[in-house]
Amino acid sequence: MERCIIHLDMDAFYASIEQRDHPELRGQPVVVGGSSRRAVVAAASYEARKFGIHSAMPMMRARRLCPDLVVADVHMEHYREVSRQIRGILERHTELIEPLALDEFFLDVTEQTGAIPEAGRLAQAMKAEIQMETGLTGSAGVGPNKFVAKVASDLRKPDGLVVVPPAEGADFLAPLPVSRVWGVGAVTERKLEGLGIRTIGDLAGADPQGLERLFGKLGPRIHQLANGVDDRPVQVSRQPKSVSHETTFEEDTTDLDLLRERLGRLAQRVSERLRRRGLQGRTVVLKLTYHNFQHATRHATLEQPTDDDRAIAAEAARLLDRTEAAVRPVRLVGVGLTGLTSTVSAGAPQLGLFGPESGGPADLPSG
């Protein structure tokens, strides 16, 4: 029986929901993010992407690239609800679902299909059901493992489907740029190019021992991926490593009272998410971004795990005193908790889960 993995990535998820809900926005360049001077693009429609606009771009730059840009506010709870609806559709076909974000899922359909061609037909059926019931499109990749399926789903957007049989995995990957390999960031890519390694095929043919000498444990790993080898299972339930929230100020500030007030609000949001997931954390993390975009991070480990917003806020405020926030204007402040443990296993009641968001704290789309 062939291992059959599907990677489903919804197309421009947040922006597509706004265009669906507001028909007058269809066909227009739409971004989701908000209208403040410090806002960034959370998602861009494909019409907006034609202007070079992409997620995480400052909104002011996006407006310069497209003067007719339509900016929609973020409606996160609504997006989560749509994500839960999509998850429900997927669960009709398999219980082996690993959510990566609100708009992105890995599915293991080996038991349901047993062969890649049949898995491709199932992926097409899932896409059709999602479009019929939500009015949204997604792109899917089907392959013998996570890496091949993920790369395949990225190649034909929007509303694409790429199916890669096991015997064709290495040939499928070979002509693609080495930057598509997980773990190859900008620095590693430059080093590989210096060795004449520009495509995944080049990387697949490189000496794995030489790669290990240059990149440590990463070297053999990226060599395996380049050869289409990826044995990682679809993880049905993943506990997040951290829960955090952050906010960007309209104007840079050195007002410690204002910063402490925002820390309290952020701690409340962190606490709410922890309780919904049945989690507590032991290490409080304070994140600051100063006016010149330099970052500062402070950590403090508590005696006992907590989900109490007052305890989180109090510790974050103490950490604030260990920064230069009083003299260096602050652009962004964030609060998080790491060292997470389950309150359920400790005997405390579980108050509920986020559903498809349970894979981690990130909400930004990738499609």
Q: Answer whether 173's CB lies under 8 Å from 199's CB.
A: no
Lowest mean pLDDT among 3-17, 205-219, 232-246, 334-348: 334-348
Q: Which of 18, 47, 98, 104 is catalytic?
A: 104
**CB pairs under 8 A, 24+ apart, for 231-235?**
231/145, 232/145, 232/146, 233/108, 234/5, 234/96, 234/97, 234/98, 234/106, 234/107, 234/108, 234/146, 235/98
Is the pLDDT at 324 greater than 50? The verdict is: yes
Q: Residue 277: what pLDDT?
A: 80
User: Tens of pLDDT along 90-141?
Assistant: 988 998 999 999 999 999 999 999 899 999 999 999 999 999 999 999 999 9
- In this structure, the answer to whether residues 51 and 179 fall within a common structural domain is no
**Could you tell me how far CA 35 lies from the centroid of its own chain?**
23
pLDDT tens, position by position, 328-343: 999 889 999 999 998 7
Shared-domain flag, residues 95 and 213? no
| Pair type for strands 138-143 and 279-290 | unpaired
Higher pLDDT, 264 or 347: 264
CB 43 within 8 A of CB 14: yes
Q: How far, in Å, CA of 141 to CA of 130, rounded?
A: 16
Is 104 tagged catalytic? Answer: yes
SS3 287: strand
* pLDDT-derived band at 157, boundaries 50, 70, 90: very high
Same domain? For 186 and 73 the reply is: no
Residues of the chain with pLDDT > 90: what percent? 76
Phi, then psi, of 32 in degrees rounded to 5: -110, 135
Tokens of 360: 């981690």
Q: Are residues 169 and 181 in the same domain?
A: no
| Last residue within a domain, chosen from 128, 148, 173 | 173
Query: Whole domain around residue 331: which residue ranges?
Result: 242-359
Residue 366 inside a domain? The answer is: no
- Model-level pTM? 0.70
CATH number assigned to the domain comprising residue 125: 3.30.70.270
**Number of domains into which the chain is organized:** 3
With a cut of 60, say whether residue 262 has pLDDT above it.
yes
Domain with residue 220: its CATH number is: 1.10.150.20
Q: Is residue 235 part of a domain?
A: no
| Residues 187, 272 within the same domain | no
Of the residues 173, 191, 206, the one at which a domain ends: 173
**Tens digit of each residue's pLDDT (9 = 90 or more) over 272-311:** 989 988 899 999 999 998 988 788 999 999 999 999 999 9
Q: How far apart are CA 221 and CA 229, in angstroms?
A: 9
The reported pLDDT for the residue numbered 344 is 57
Residues 104/367, Cβ–Cβ less than 8 Å? yes
Q: Quick check: 228 and 317 in contact, CB under 8 A? A: no
CATH code assigned at 272: 3.30.1490.100
Residues 257 and 348: beta-carbon distance below 8 Å? no
Q: Phi and psi at residue 117, in whole multiples of 5°?
A: -60, -40
Q: E-strand spans in the chain? A: 5-10, 30-32, 43-44, 70-72, 97-101, 104-108, 138-143, 161-163, 242-253, 279-290, 295-306, 330-338, 341-342
Answer whether residue 325 shows pLDDT above 60: yes
Structure tokens that stand for 108 in this block: 């293991």
Cα(233)–Cα(68) distance, integer angstroms: 45
Residue 361 has pLDDT above 60, yes or no: no
